[in-house]
Structure 1
Protein backbone atom coordinates (compact mmCIF):
# COMPACT_ATOMS: atom_id res chain seq x y z
CA UNK A 1 0.00 0.00 0.00
CA UNK A 2 2.85 2.37 0.82
CA UNK A 3 4.41 1.70 -2.57
CA UNK A 4 1.14 2.50 -4.36
CA UNK A 5 0.76 5.70 -2.35
CA UNK A 6 4.28 6.77 -3.31
CA UNK A 7 3.56 5.99 -6.98
CA UNK A 8 0.32 8.02 -6.93
CA UNK A 9 2.09 10.92 -5.27
CA UNK A 10 4.92 10.91 -7.83
CA UNK A 11 3.10 9.98 -11.04
CA UNK A 12 5.22 12.15 -13.32
CA UNK A 13 8.53 10.82 -12.00
CA UNK A 14 7.30 7.22 -12.25
CA UNK A 15 6.04 7.81 -15.79
CA UNK A 16 9.38 9.32 -16.89
CA UNK A 17 11.33 6.47 -15.25
CA UNK A 18 9.11 3.89 -16.98
CA UNK A 19 9.58 5.64 -20.34
CA UNK A 20 13.36 5.57 -19.88
CA UNK A 21 13.17 1.88 -18.95
CA UNK A 22 11.18 0.98 -22.06
CA UNK A 23 13.48 3.05 -24.26
CA UNK A 24 16.52 1.37 -22.71
CA UNK A 25 15.15 -2.06 -23.60
CA UNK A 26 14.08 -1.04 -27.12
CA UNK A 27 17.04 1.14 -28.10
CA UNK A 28 19.97 1.40 -25.65
CA UNK A 29 21.84 3.97 -27.78
CA UNK A 30 18.89 6.37 -27.94
CA UNK A 31 18.26 5.85 -24.23
CA UNK A 32 21.84 6.83 -23.47
CA UNK A 33 21.59 9.95 -25.65
CA UNK A 34 18.29 10.87 -24.03
CA UNK A 35 19.84 10.48 -20.59
CA UNK A 36 22.75 12.75 -21.56
CA UNK A 37 20.32 15.39 -22.83
CA UNK A 38 18.31 15.20 -19.62
CA UNK A 39 21.44 15.65 -17.50
CA UNK A 40 22.45 18.63 -19.63
CA UNK A 41 19.10 20.38 -19.14
CA UNK A 42 19.04 19.52 -15.45
CA UNK A 43 22.45 21.14 -14.97
CA UNK A 44 21.24 24.16 -16.93
CA UNK A 45 18.20 24.47 -14.67
CA UNK A 46 20.34 24.23 -11.54
CA UNK A 47 22.50 27.07 -12.88
CA UNK A 48 19.65 29.32 -14.02
CA UNK A 49 16.86 28.88 -11.48
CA UNK A 50 18.70 30.16 -8.36
CA UNK A 51 19.36 33.43 -10.16
CA UNK A 52 15.73 33.63 -11.31
CA UNK A 53 14.39 32.95 -7.82
CA UNK A 54 16.69 35.65 -6.44
CA UNK A 55 15.35 38.04 -9.06
CA UNK A 56 11.75 37.22 -8.12
CA UNK A 57 12.53 38.00 -4.47
CA UNK A 58 14.05 41.33 -5.49
CA UNK A 59 10.95 42.19 -7.56
CA UNK A 60 8.60 41.14 -4.78
CA UNK A 61 10.40 43.06 -2.04
CA UNK A 62 11.88 46.13 -3.71
CA UNK A 63 9.60 46.94 -6.66
CA UNK A 64 6.41 48.73 -5.53
CA UNK A 65 3.11 47.31 -6.71
CA UNK A 66 2.15 50.74 -8.09
CA UNK A 67 5.16 50.69 -10.41
CA UNK A 68 4.18 47.28 -11.84
CA UNK A 69 0.55 48.37 -12.21
CA UNK A 70 1.51 51.57 -14.03
CA UNK A 71 4.06 49.87 -16.25
CA UNK A 72 2.38 46.54 -16.99
CA UNK A 73 -1.20 46.77 -15.65
CA UNK A 74 -4.56 46.77 -17.37
CA UNK A 75 -4.46 50.53 -17.94
CA UNK A 76 -0.86 50.72 -19.14
CA UNK A 77 -2.02 50.58 -22.77
CA UNK A 78 0.44 50.53 -25.66
CA UNK A 79 3.22 51.72 -23.34
CA UNK A 80 2.79 48.57 -21.24
CA UNK A 81 2.74 46.39 -24.34
CA UNK A 82 6.00 47.89 -25.59
CA UNK A 83 7.65 47.63 -22.16
CA UNK A 84 6.61 43.97 -22.00
CA UNK A 85 8.00 43.36 -25.48
CA UNK A 86 11.28 45.02 -24.47
CA UNK A 87 11.50 43.07 -21.21
CA UNK A 88 10.99 39.75 -22.97
CA UNK A 89 13.39 40.65 -25.79
CA UNK A 90 16.36 41.67 -23.61
CA UNK A 91 15.96 38.86 -21.08
CA UNK A 92 18.43 36.02 -20.79
CA UNK A 93 18.01 32.35 -20.06
CA UNK A 94 15.58 29.66 -21.23
CA UNK A 95 11.87 30.43 -21.41
CA UNK A 96 10.99 28.35 -18.34
CA UNK A 97 12.88 30.97 -16.32
CA UNK A 98 10.19 33.47 -17.33
CA UNK A 99 7.36 31.66 -15.52
CA UNK A 100 8.22 32.53 -11.88
CA UNK A 101 8.93 36.14 -12.91
CA UNK A 102 5.60 36.30 -14.74
CA UNK A 103 3.82 34.96 -11.65
CA UNK A 104 5.33 37.69 -9.47
CA UNK A 105 4.38 40.36 -12.01
CA UNK A 106 0.81 39.03 -12.11
CA UNK A 107 0.59 39.12 -8.33
CA UNK A 108 1.74 42.74 -8.41
CA UNK A 109 -0.85 43.87 -10.95
CA UNK A 110 0.46 43.06 -14.43
CA UNK A 111 -2.21 42.27 -17.03
CA UNK A 112 -2.72 38.94 -18.78
CA UNK A 113 -2.00 40.62 -22.12
CA UNK A 114 1.40 41.89 -21.02
CA UNK A 115 2.35 38.59 -19.41
CA UNK A 116 1.62 36.81 -22.71
CA UNK A 117 3.75 39.38 -24.54
CA UNK A 118 6.64 38.89 -22.10
CA UNK A 119 6.52 35.09 -22.34
CA UNK A 120 6.15 35.05 -26.13
CA UNK A 121 8.89 37.57 -26.84
CA UNK A 122 11.16 35.78 -24.34
CA UNK A 123 10.61 32.57 -26.29
CA UNK A 124 10.95 33.67 -29.91
CA UNK A 125 12.44 37.17 -30.37
CA UNK A 126 15.19 37.56 -27.79
CA UNK A 127 18.01 39.79 -29.04
CA UNK A 128 20.72 37.05 -28.95
CA UNK A 129 18.38 34.83 -30.97
CA UNK A 130 17.84 37.59 -33.54
CA UNK A 131 21.61 38.07 -33.88
CA UNK A 132 22.05 34.38 -34.69
CA UNK A 133 19.13 34.53 -37.08
CA UNK A 134 20.80 37.36 -39.00
CA UNK A 135 24.03 35.38 -39.12
CA UNK A 136 22.44 32.30 -40.69
CA UNK A 137 19.38 33.63 -42.55
CA UNK A 138 20.08 37.29 -43.25
CA UNK A 139 18.71 40.67 -42.15
CA UNK A 140 15.70 40.68 -44.48
CA UNK A 141 14.46 37.31 -43.26
CA UNK A 142 14.95 38.28 -39.62
CA UNK A 143 13.27 41.68 -40.05
CA UNK A 144 10.15 40.35 -41.77
CA UNK A 145 9.83 37.46 -39.32
CA UNK A 146 10.26 39.87 -36.38
CA UNK A 147 7.49 42.16 -37.61
CA UNK A 148 5.08 39.30 -38.26
CA UNK A 149 5.95 37.66 -34.95
CA UNK A 150 5.41 40.86 -32.95
CA UNK A 151 2.01 41.39 -34.60
CA UNK A 152 1.06 37.79 -33.77
CA UNK A 153 2.26 38.18 -30.18
CA UNK A 154 0.16 41.32 -29.64
CA UNK A 155 -2.94 39.68 -31.17
CA UNK A 156 -2.42 36.56 -29.05
CA UNK A 157 -1.99 38.67 -25.91
CA UNK A 158 -5.28 40.50 -26.40
CA UNK A 159 -7.12 37.29 -27.32
CA UNK A 160 -5.80 35.58 -24.19
CA UNK A 161 -7.07 38.48 -22.07
CA UNK A 162 -10.55 37.94 -23.52
CA UNK A 163 -10.70 34.28 -22.53
CA UNK A 164 -8.49 34.11 -19.42
CA UNK A 165 -8.87 36.37 -16.40
CA UNK A 166 -6.49 36.79 -13.48
CA UNK A 167 -9.06 35.27 -11.13
CA UNK A 168 -9.03 32.10 -13.26
CA UNK A 169 -5.35 31.45 -12.56
CA UNK A 170 -4.36 29.05 -9.76
CA UNK A 171 -3.85 30.57 -6.32
CA UNK A 172 -1.98 29.04 -3.39
CA UNK A 173 -4.19 27.18 -0.97
CA UNK A 174 -4.92 29.25 2.11
CA UNK A 175 -6.89 26.78 4.22
CA UNK A 176 -10.41 27.29 5.45
CA UNK A 177 -10.03 30.84 6.80
CA UNK A 178 -11.50 33.69 4.80
CA UNK A 179 -8.61 36.05 5.55
CA UNK A 180 -4.99 35.10 6.10
CA UNK A 181 -2.66 37.79 7.42
CA UNK A 182 1.01 36.87 7.24
CA UNK A 183 4.34 38.57 7.85
CA UNK A 184 7.21 37.18 5.84
CA UNK A 185 9.90 36.97 8.47
CA UNK A 186 12.74 36.84 5.95
CA UNK A 187 11.73 40.31 4.72
CA UNK A 188 10.76 41.94 8.03
CA UNK A 189 13.35 44.37 9.44
CA UNK A 190 11.50 45.06 12.67
CA UNK A 191 10.93 48.76 11.99
CA UNK A 192 7.69 48.67 14.03
CA UNK A 193 5.55 50.77 11.67
CA UNK A 194 2.81 48.13 11.56
CA UNK A 195 2.70 47.75 15.35
CA UNK A 196 2.43 51.52 15.79
CA UNK A 197 -0.38 51.80 13.25
CA UNK A 198 -2.40 48.75 14.38
CA UNK A 199 -1.17 47.47 17.75
CA UNK A 200 -4.25 45.24 18.04
CA UNK A 201 -3.04 43.22 15.03
CA UNK A 202 0.75 43.41 15.23
CA UNK A 203 3.46 43.33 17.85
CA UNK A 204 7.25 43.17 17.87
CA UNK A 205 8.86 40.00 19.21
CA UNK A 206 12.59 39.34 19.05
CA UNK A 207 13.03 42.36 16.74
CA UNK A 208 10.49 40.99 14.23
CA UNK A 209 6.84 41.88 13.66
CA UNK A 210 4.30 39.11 14.29
CA UNK A 211 0.55 38.84 13.74
CA UNK A 212 -1.64 38.89 16.88
CA UNK A 213 -5.00 38.15 15.23
CA UNK A 214 -6.68 37.79 11.84
CA UNK A 215 -8.81 40.63 10.41
CA UNK A 216 -12.55 40.22 9.94
CA UNK A 217 -14.71 42.47 7.77
CA UNK A 218 -14.06 45.03 5.06
CA UNK A 219 -13.07 47.91 7.38
CA UNK A 220 -10.43 45.80 9.09
CA UNK A 221 -9.16 44.56 5.73
CA UNK A 222 -8.74 48.16 4.54
CA UNK A 223 -6.70 49.03 7.62
CA UNK A 224 -4.48 45.98 7.12
CA UNK A 225 -3.94 46.85 3.46
CA UNK A 226 -2.81 50.32 4.52
CA UNK A 227 -0.17 48.86 6.85
CA UNK A 228 0.97 46.52 4.06
CA UNK A 229 1.40 49.49 1.72
CA UNK A 230 3.44 51.39 4.32
CA UNK A 231 5.70 48.45 5.16
CA UNK A 232 9.11 49.42 3.68
CA UNK A 233 10.04 45.85 2.75
CA UNK A 234 6.52 44.70 1.75
CA UNK A 235 6.70 41.90 4.31
CA UNK A 236 2.97 42.06 5.16
CA UNK A 237 0.69 39.86 3.05
CA UNK A 238 -3.10 39.72 3.35
CA UNK A 239 -4.76 36.95 1.37
CA UNK A 240 -8.52 37.15 0.97
CA UNK A 241 -10.96 34.61 -0.45
CA UNK A 242 -13.39 36.20 -2.87
Structure 2
Protein backbone atom coordinates (compact mmCIF):
# COMPACT_ATOMS: atom_id res chain seq x y z
CA UNK A 1 0.00 0.00 0.00
CA UNK A 2 2.74 2.42 1.01
CA UNK A 3 4.87 1.49 -2.03
CA UNK A 4 1.93 2.13 -4.33
CA UNK A 5 1.39 5.60 -2.87
CA UNK A 6 5.08 6.40 -3.17
CA UNK A 7 5.10 5.39 -6.84
CA UNK A 8 2.06 7.52 -7.61
CA UNK A 9 3.60 10.56 -5.92
CA UNK A 10 7.25 10.04 -6.86
CA UNK A 11 7.40 13.32 -8.80
CA UNK A 12 6.24 15.34 -5.78
CA UNK A 13 8.64 13.42 -3.54
CA UNK A 14 11.56 14.17 -5.88
CA UNK A 15 10.63 17.87 -5.97
CA UNK A 16 10.41 17.93 -2.18
CA UNK A 17 13.85 16.34 -1.88
CA UNK A 18 15.30 18.87 -4.32
CA UNK A 19 13.86 21.73 -2.24
CA UNK A 20 15.36 20.23 0.92
CA UNK A 21 18.74 19.82 -0.79
CA UNK A 22 18.67 23.40 -2.08
CA UNK A 23 17.66 24.65 1.37
CA UNK A 24 20.71 22.98 2.89
CA UNK A 25 23.09 24.28 0.21
CA UNK A 26 21.65 27.74 -0.47
CA UNK A 27 18.76 28.88 1.78
CA UNK A 28 18.32 32.17 -0.11
CA UNK A 29 17.81 30.46 -3.47
CA UNK A 30 15.54 27.89 -1.83
CA UNK A 31 13.29 30.68 -0.48
CA UNK A 32 13.24 32.38 -3.88
CA UNK A 33 12.34 29.10 -5.61
CA UNK A 34 9.62 28.39 -3.03
CA UNK A 35 8.07 31.87 -3.52
CA UNK A 36 8.09 31.41 -7.31
CA UNK A 37 6.40 28.03 -6.93
CA UNK A 38 3.68 29.54 -4.71
CA UNK A 39 3.10 32.29 -7.29
CA UNK A 40 2.61 29.81 -10.14
CA UNK A 41 0.42 27.55 -8.01
CA UNK A 42 -1.87 30.50 -7.25
CA UNK A 43 -2.02 31.29 -10.96
CA UNK A 44 -2.90 27.69 -11.78
CA UNK A 45 -5.69 27.58 -9.18
CA UNK A 46 -7.23 30.67 -10.81
CA UNK A 47 -6.90 29.54 -14.43
CA UNK A 48 -7.37 25.76 -14.41
CA UNK A 49 -11.02 25.70 -13.15
CA UNK A 50 -11.99 27.83 -16.15
CA UNK A 51 -10.05 25.55 -18.49
CA UNK A 52 -11.70 22.43 -17.05
CA UNK A 53 -15.13 24.02 -17.55
CA UNK A 54 -14.15 24.69 -21.16
CA UNK A 55 -13.10 21.07 -21.68
CA UNK A 56 -16.42 19.88 -20.23
CA UNK A 57 -18.21 22.21 -22.66
CA UNK A 58 -16.21 20.77 -25.57
CA UNK A 59 -17.03 17.22 -24.46
CA UNK A 60 -20.72 17.87 -23.96
CA UNK A 61 -21.61 20.40 -26.65
CA UNK A 62 -19.35 19.76 -29.65
CA UNK A 63 -20.06 16.49 -31.51
CA UNK A 64 -17.13 14.23 -32.26
CA UNK A 65 -17.92 14.48 -35.99
CA UNK A 66 -17.35 18.25 -35.88
CA UNK A 67 -13.94 17.83 -34.21
CA UNK A 68 -12.93 15.16 -36.75
CA UNK A 69 -14.06 17.34 -39.67
CA UNK A 70 -12.31 20.45 -38.34
CA UNK A 71 -9.14 19.03 -36.77
CA UNK A 72 -9.03 15.37 -37.82
CA UNK A 73 -6.43 13.51 -39.86
CA UNK A 74 -8.20 14.28 -43.16
CA UNK A 75 -8.95 17.96 -42.42
CA UNK A 76 -5.90 18.99 -44.49
CA UNK A 77 -4.78 22.60 -44.73
CA UNK A 78 -8.13 23.77 -43.37
CA UNK A 79 -7.48 21.82 -40.18
CA UNK A 80 -3.95 23.26 -39.93
CA UNK A 81 -5.32 26.78 -40.37
CA UNK A 82 -8.02 26.26 -37.72
CA UNK A 83 -5.41 24.79 -35.34
CA UNK A 84 -3.17 27.83 -35.85
CA UNK A 85 -6.16 30.13 -35.34
CA UNK A 86 -7.26 28.39 -32.13
CA UNK A 87 -3.76 28.47 -30.66
CA UNK A 88 -3.01 32.04 -31.75
CA UNK A 89 -6.24 33.54 -30.41
CA UNK A 90 -6.20 31.66 -27.10
CA UNK A 91 -5.27 33.34 -23.85
CA UNK A 92 -3.49 32.08 -20.76
CA UNK A 93 -0.26 30.18 -20.09
CA UNK A 94 0.72 27.13 -22.14
CA UNK A 95 -0.19 24.62 -19.41
CA UNK A 96 -3.82 25.70 -19.87
CA UNK A 97 -3.66 24.23 -23.39
CA UNK A 98 -2.86 20.68 -22.29
CA UNK A 99 -6.35 19.68 -20.98
CA UNK A 100 -7.91 21.17 -24.13
CA UNK A 101 -5.42 19.31 -26.30
CA UNK A 102 -6.21 16.06 -24.49
CA UNK A 103 -9.96 16.58 -24.99
CA UNK A 104 -9.60 17.39 -28.70
CA UNK A 105 -7.32 14.38 -29.21
CA UNK A 106 -9.81 12.04 -27.54
CA UNK A 107 -12.57 13.37 -29.82
CA UNK A 108 -10.70 12.75 -33.06
CA UNK A 109 -8.26 15.62 -33.62
CA UNK A 110 -5.05 14.59 -35.35
CA UNK A 111 -1.68 14.53 -33.61
CA UNK A 112 -0.29 17.11 -36.06
CA UNK A 113 -3.08 19.59 -35.32
CA UNK A 114 -2.66 19.13 -31.56
CA UNK A 115 1.05 19.97 -31.97
CA UNK A 116 0.10 23.07 -33.98
CA UNK A 117 -2.40 24.21 -31.32
CA UNK A 118 0.07 23.75 -28.47
CA UNK A 119 2.97 25.36 -30.33
CA UNK A 120 1.04 28.38 -31.63
CA UNK A 121 -0.50 28.82 -28.16
CA UNK A 122 3.03 29.01 -26.77
CA UNK A 123 4.81 31.24 -29.29
CA UNK A 124 2.52 33.07 -31.75
CA UNK A 125 -0.42 34.38 -29.72
CA UNK A 126 -1.86 37.59 -31.21
CA UNK A 127 -1.29 39.85 -28.14
CA UNK A 128 2.35 38.73 -28.04
CA UNK A 129 2.79 39.54 -31.76
CA UNK A 130 1.46 43.06 -31.19
CA UNK A 131 3.96 43.65 -28.39
CA UNK A 132 6.77 42.14 -30.46
CA UNK A 133 6.02 44.51 -33.35
CA UNK A 134 5.90 47.47 -30.94
CA UNK A 135 9.29 46.80 -29.33
CA UNK A 136 11.24 45.05 -32.11
CA UNK A 137 9.58 46.31 -35.27
CA UNK A 138 7.06 44.95 -37.76
CA UNK A 139 9.70 43.47 -40.09
CA UNK A 140 11.30 41.52 -37.27
CA UNK A 141 7.91 40.25 -36.09
CA UNK A 142 6.81 39.13 -39.59
CA UNK A 143 10.04 37.30 -40.41
CA UNK A 144 10.15 35.63 -37.01
CA UNK A 145 6.46 34.69 -37.31
CA UNK A 146 6.87 33.16 -40.78
CA UNK A 147 9.89 31.11 -39.72
CA UNK A 148 8.06 30.00 -36.57
CA UNK A 149 5.02 28.86 -38.59
CA UNK A 150 7.27 26.82 -40.92
CA UNK A 151 9.04 25.27 -37.91
CA UNK A 152 5.73 24.41 -36.23
CA UNK A 153 4.39 22.73 -39.40
CA UNK A 154 7.57 20.67 -39.76
CA UNK A 155 7.45 19.68 -36.10
CA UNK A 156 3.74 18.80 -36.35
CA UNK A 157 4.14 16.50 -39.36
CA UNK A 158 7.32 14.86 -38.03
CA UNK A 159 5.61 14.19 -34.69
CA UNK A 160 2.54 12.74 -36.44
CA UNK A 161 4.77 10.56 -38.63
CA UNK A 162 6.70 9.17 -35.66
CA UNK A 163 3.61 8.52 -33.55
CA UNK A 164 1.22 7.36 -36.28
CA UNK A 165 1.75 3.64 -35.52
CA UNK A 166 1.51 4.06 -31.78
CA UNK A 167 -1.57 4.16 -29.61
CA UNK A 168 -2.02 7.73 -28.41
CA UNK A 169 -5.20 8.00 -26.40
CA UNK A 170 -4.81 10.54 -23.58
CA UNK A 171 -4.38 8.25 -20.55
CA UNK A 172 -6.78 5.64 -21.99
CA UNK A 173 -5.34 2.19 -21.34
CA UNK A 174 -8.13 0.20 -23.01
CA UNK A 175 -7.13 -2.53 -25.45
CA UNK A 176 -7.71 -1.55 -29.12
CA UNK A 177 -9.16 -4.97 -29.89
CA UNK A 178 -11.89 -4.84 -27.24
CA UNK A 179 -14.97 -2.78 -26.66
CA UNK A 180 -14.20 0.27 -24.56
CA UNK A 181 -16.78 1.73 -22.17
CA UNK A 182 -15.81 4.27 -19.54
CA UNK A 183 -17.31 7.07 -17.48
CA UNK A 184 -15.14 10.13 -16.96
CA UNK A 185 -15.45 10.67 -13.24
CA UNK A 186 -14.37 14.31 -13.43
CA UNK A 187 -17.43 15.06 -15.59
CA UNK A 188 -20.05 12.78 -13.99
CA UNK A 189 -22.58 14.69 -11.87
CA UNK A 190 -24.19 11.59 -10.36
CA UNK A 191 -27.64 12.09 -11.93
CA UNK A 192 -28.10 8.30 -12.24
CA UNK A 193 -29.79 8.49 -15.65
CA UNK A 194 -27.50 5.87 -17.20
CA UNK A 195 -28.15 3.49 -14.27
CA UNK A 196 -31.91 3.82 -14.70
CA UNK A 197 -31.63 3.29 -18.47
CA UNK A 198 -29.23 0.33 -18.34
CA UNK A 199 -28.83 -1.04 -14.79
CA UNK A 200 -27.06 -4.18 -15.99
CA UNK A 201 -24.29 -2.01 -17.45
CA UNK A 202 -23.92 0.79 -14.90
CA UNK A 203 -24.12 1.25 -11.14
CA UNK A 204 -23.75 4.07 -8.64
CA UNK A 205 -20.64 4.19 -6.46
CA UNK A 206 -19.90 6.97 -3.97
CA UNK A 207 -22.37 9.29 -5.63
CA UNK A 208 -21.16 8.77 -9.20
CA UNK A 209 -21.92 6.32 -11.99
CA UNK A 210 -19.39 3.62 -12.87
CA UNK A 211 -19.28 0.79 -15.39
CA UNK A 212 -20.58 -2.37 -13.68
CA UNK A 213 -19.28 -4.98 -16.14
CA UNK A 214 -15.87 -5.95 -17.47
CA UNK A 215 -17.06 -7.37 -20.81
CA UNK A 216 -19.78 -6.24 -23.19
CA UNK A 217 -21.85 -8.11 -25.75
CA UNK A 218 -22.26 -6.61 -29.21
CA UNK A 219 -26.02 -6.90 -28.75
CA UNK A 220 -25.82 -4.14 -26.11
CA UNK A 221 -24.21 -1.59 -28.44
CA UNK A 222 -27.45 0.19 -29.39
CA UNK A 223 -28.56 0.54 -25.76
CA UNK A 224 -25.11 1.76 -24.72
CA UNK A 225 -25.14 4.39 -27.45
CA UNK A 226 -28.49 5.63 -26.12
CA UNK A 227 -26.96 6.19 -22.68
CA UNK A 228 -24.00 8.00 -24.27
CA UNK A 229 -26.37 10.35 -26.11
CA UNK A 230 -28.62 10.94 -23.09
CA UNK A 231 -25.84 11.71 -20.59
CA UNK A 232 -26.36 15.43 -19.82
CA UNK A 233 -22.63 16.16 -19.43
CA UNK A 234 -21.15 13.75 -21.99
CA UNK A 235 -19.32 11.77 -19.33
CA UNK A 236 -19.85 8.34 -20.96
CA UNK A 237 -17.37 7.29 -23.63
CA UNK A 238 -17.91 4.16 -25.68
CA UNK A 239 -15.91 2.77 -28.60
CA UNK A 240 -16.58 -0.60 -30.16
CA UNK A 241 -14.14 -2.87 -31.98
CA UNK A 242 -15.81 -1.95 -35.28
CA UNK A 243 -15.49 1.81 -34.63
CA UNK A 244 -11.84 1.48 -33.59
CA UNK A 245 -10.93 -0.36 -36.78
- Give the Å deviation of 1:230: 4.2
Note the alpha carbon deviations across 1:136-161, whole angstroms, 9 max, x for none.
21111111000010011111111111
Aligned length: 232
Note the alpha carbon deviations across 1:147-196, whole angstroms, 9 max, x for none.
01001111111111111136244533469xx545456652869599x94x
Note the alpha carbon deviations across 1:77-121, whole angstroms, 9 max, x for none.
100100000000010111111111001001111001100000000
The answer to whether the 8 A contact 2:71-2:82 is kept is yes
User: Which position in structure 2 is the counterpart of 1:145?
Assistant: 144
Gap runs ≥5 in structure 2: none
User: Which position in structure 1 is the counterpart of 2:63?
Assistant: 64
User: Which position in structure 2 is the counterpart of 1:75?
Assistant: 74
RMSD: 3.5
SS in 2 for 1:83: helix
- Give the Å deviation of 1:40: 0.8
Distance in 1, matches of 2:12 and 2:171, equals 24
SS in 2 for 1:93: coil
Gap runs ≥5 in structure 1: none
**Aligned equivalent of 1:186, options 174, 186, 189:** 189
* Length-normalised TM-score, structure 2: 0.79
User: Which position in structure 2 is the counterpart of 1:119?
Assistant: 118
- Give the Å deviation of 1:66: 0.9
SS in 2 for 1:109: coil
User: Which position in structure 2 is the counterpart of 1:89?
Assistant: 88
- Give the Å deviation of 1:34: 1.0
Distance in 2, matches of 1:6 and 1:213, equals 27
User: Which position in structure 2 is the counterpart of 1:12?
Assistant: 11
Q: Rg: which structure is higher?
A: 1
* Length-normalised TM-score, structure 1: 0.80
Distance in 2, matches of 1:62 and 1:214, equals 28
